[in-house]
Amino acid sequence: MCYTFSFPMEQVRLAKFIAQTGYAARRKAEELILAGGVTVNGNPATTVTTFINPDVDRVEIFGQPCTKPEHNLYIALHKPSGYLSTTTGDSRKKVPDLLPKEATEGRRLFLVGRLDKETEGLIVLTDDGDFAQRLMHPSFEKEKEYEVIVRGRMDEKAATTLRNGVDIIVEGKPYHTYPAKVEHLTSDGKTSRFHITLGEGKKRQIRLMCAAVGHPVRYLRRVRIGSLELGDLPLGKYRLLSEQERQGLMKNAAGRLPPSFPQSFLCQKYCTFFCTALVPCSVFSLSVVCFSARFQHGMLSRTSEP
């Protein structure tokens, strides 16, 4: 006699699935659902609490199929000066222009850790909207480290002021910055060089902070986001993040770590275990279809989560 037990496949929130396809970030996906632009198996999805089975259900947005790519892209790029940190807009140079079109064709990219046009350094790009939103969530308090060159000889008094926080004007409103880490301060008399590490990110914050202590910025480059370092990545070049780097970025971010290639690829879609036990007069064969590889990866990664 043979008994077969099958657990139901994993259900995910519709908005989360849309975000993982790269069509839109999760909040925008929820807006699309509430606006009536999303259907599941031909039926309008009317609430953001709708769950689907990605392996079975057919999702469409304004009549167009919404499917998840075989694997997502997670890219570290060394942004040069002169490029805008945006994926849309006019004909001016943008960060995604530095990537080969054949690698990004048909994918909607999200930028994590935007930089001013004049600023160089580390920036992360991905087509995983869920991953991007978690890293951009206010609870994501990863340190960001910058190499700075300013005009004039900066003394320890000015450096201490930066460390303790300074009063600046951000988009027309007064703001007192959080304490910062300032180290490796050197000067040749005409300019000073140092590293500054922030736990927040206001628009043009470092430039405003340095100007407030009398030392306008001449050069600015981000060299680290959390545990992810720029390293020796050449200016204008990019590389794919390793799984360890991706998990490191997500370690303190909100929510559960999403899956990525090659984990889901190596595990394939399902894992099946067979257990056979012999008892008098009968043989029981138990075939258990486990949860999807995505759920398995989440369980295996639990120790790396907050």
Q: Measured between alpha carbons, how far apart are the two ends of the chain, in Å?
A: 45
Is the CB of residue 284 less than 8 Å from the CB of residue 1? yes
The residues annotated as belonging to the active site are 116
Please work out, in degrees rounded to the nearest 5, the angle formed at the alpha carbon of residue 84 by the alpha carbons of 80 and 90.
135
8 — phi, psi (to 5°)?
A: -65, 145
Contact indicator for 225, 142 with CB cutoff of 8 Å: yes
| 19 neighbors 301 (Cβ within 8 angstroms) | no
For residue 183 the two structure tokens come to 């180290």
Q: What is the dihedral of CA 168, 169, 174, 177, to 10 degrees?
A: -40
